[in-house]
Amino acid sequence: MLTPSNTGHQTSFFGTDLLLQLDSSDPLIQLSQAIPWSEFEDSFAKHY
């Protein structure tokens, strides 16, 4: 059974915050922050 995922972002990749290493103006980063991930998780959880 899957455990609830952490709703935060990855806090470490070799000691620094991963989001600080990425370009926040990148369209894919902006899209990932706009998607309501918890709604997807809630909808798909019943299938797993």
Domain boundaries, the chain: 24-48
Amino acid 3: pLDDT: 62
Please list the ranges in the chain whose pLDDT falls under 70: 1-16
Q: Is 19 buried (19+), middle (13-18) or exposed (0-12) by CB count in 10 A?
A: middle
Amino acid 15: pLDDT: 62
Tell me the C-alpha distance between 40 and 48, whole Å.
Answer: 13
pTM value?
Answer: 0.51
Backbone angles phi, psi at 16, to 5 degrees: -120, 160
Amino acid 20: pLDDT: 81
Amino acid 48: pLDDT: 85
